[in-house]
Structure 1
Amino acid sequence: MTRSGADLALLLLGGYRRLVDSAVQELAARGFEDVRPSHDFAMRAIDSGAGSASELGRRMSVTKQAAARTISVLLERGWIAREDDPDDGRRKRLRVTPLGREVMSTGETIFDELRQAWEREIGRQELATLEEQLSRLVGDAPIRLDAPGWVSRDDD
């Protein structure tokens, strides 16, 4: 059966969506309700130096207002904290809390478990081949923190 390029894109998106939806469901079962993929992207961006709403918005390709809303949710849940900036006493910066790190770590563990389930489903060698081929096609940097903004971007 010959598939179109659009079919391939939808299959890849469907695989991503299935993994992410399953991970979100399992995170909720483990006590982390209402985790969204954008929360993980945001915490990773904050962990790598996005210390303000402006910087987080730039890194995630979303508006400063969208970044500020995400920050509010993460602060409310205790996954990030604001602290004094050691370089500028007038500013506050963001950091991921131990609880936020636990959310991210639990998510990583769940993704490993989901990968193992896929391995059982299609076979070790088939999954290894799929990963190898996707790595070859996608390149060295398959993960971008700007995915939330990229998906919803309107370039018109």
Structure 2
Amino acid sequence: MSSELPLRFLLAFRTMIDELHAELARQGHPDMRPMHGFVLQAIGPQGTTAVELGRTLGVSKQAAGKTVEALEQIGYVERAVDPADTRRKIVKVTDRGYDALIRSGEILRRQHRRWAETLGADRLAALENDLRKMTPENVWKLDAPGWFS
């Protein structure tokens, strides 16, 4: 049995994410960090509270709040009063945050094309199909930040 497999998966993920963030920096988002992408996706288009965000990410309310504060300072999220309950604050993604998410998607598609050119489209498709067989169906499990903690 090889213990290299999980390390190779992690290294592939790390390589893709590092390349993604280097390109995002070149495209005007130098403050984006890997955790920020998880957070922006977890906030979603309707917004969320710090408590809900912490639950989704698998981190404490305090950790979620700290991350929201950092993202607010650099313009990726904003807090607003919940129209349904004025005691609650809702965190929403700003236009700058959406720009980072859209650019991230474009960069990931380019990376996918490069992998297909390097490995061959058939081999990459087979790899993706095999990974679907070996992993849970829900690819949008966003609690990796809490799992790594």
TMscore range, shorter length: over 0.9
Q: Which runs of 5+ in 1 are unaligned?
A: none
Question: What root-mean-square deviation, in Å, do the aligned CA atoms of Structure 1 and Structure 2 show?
Answer: 1.5
Q: CA deviation at 1:106?
A: 0.4
Structure 1 runs (4+) greater than 4 angstroms displaced:
none
How many equivalent pairs are there?
Answer: 149
> Which residue of 40, 51, 61 maps to 2:37?
40
Whether the 8 Å CA contact 1:23–1:111 is kept in 2: the answer is yes
Q: Which runs of 5+ in 2 are unaligned?
A: none
Whether the 8 Å CA contact 2:77–2:91 is kept in 1: the answer is yes
> Which residue of 42, 62, 86 maps to 1:89?
86
Tell me the TM-score normalised to structure 1 length. 0.89
> Which residue of 5, 9, 26 maps to 1:8?
5
Identity %: 37
Tell me the TM-score normalised to structure 2 length. 0.93
Amino acid at match of 2:50: A
Whether the 8 Å CA contact 2:45–2:92 is kept in 1: the answer is no
Other structure's SS at 1:92 match: strand
**In the alignment, which residue of structure 1 is the partner of 2:108?**
111
> Which residue of 67, 73, 85 maps to 1:70?
67
Q: 1:15–1:144: structure 2 CA closer, same or farther, 3 Å change rule?
A: same
Whether the 8 Å CA contact 1:50–1:59 is kept in 2: the answer is no
Other structure's SS at 1:102 match: helix
